[in-house]
Amino acid sequence: METWNGVYQLESELKWEPAGEGVVRQIMGYDGQLMIVKVKFTKGSVGMMHKHYHSQATYVASGKFELTIGDEKKVLGAGDGYYVAPDVLHGCVCLEEGILIDTFSPHRADFVK
């Protein structure tokens, strides 16, 4: 398994991969400690409730999403962000087509093929 994917990541050279119905992701930069992933949602698509041992910070690049983190729900739009502590159940519903920029620490080895 690669432990990093180089100094530069050019969007036009990176593939999109399926990440659920109406959801695709593009793996951007990573090493063993950090990863950034672009996730594109169509309206009505769902980021299923899940949890993982990674810390996650996410920036809403576009669109509108209803987030559930633990027991709290909140609607976020472009320019907003959120943090998910390790092992906290979370997910989202896309209210308006958009893109989330996820960061993980350490990197999501399960995303790297």
Partners of 56 in the beta sheet?
84, 104
Partners of 39 in the beta sheet?
25, 100
Q: Looking at the predicted structure, is the pLDDT value of residue 91 above 70? A: yes
Would you give the DSSP letter of residue 95? E
Q: What is the pLDDT of residue 1?
A: 53
For residue 46, the enclosing domain spans: 24-108
55: domain CATH number? 2.60.120.10
In a domain, 10, yes or no: no
For residue 54, give the 3-state DSSP assignment: coil
On average, the pLDDT of the chain sits at: 95
Q: What is the pLDDT of residue 6?
A: 87
- Rg of the chain over CA atoms, in angstroms? 14
In a domain, 9, yes or no: no
The number of folded domains in the chain is 1
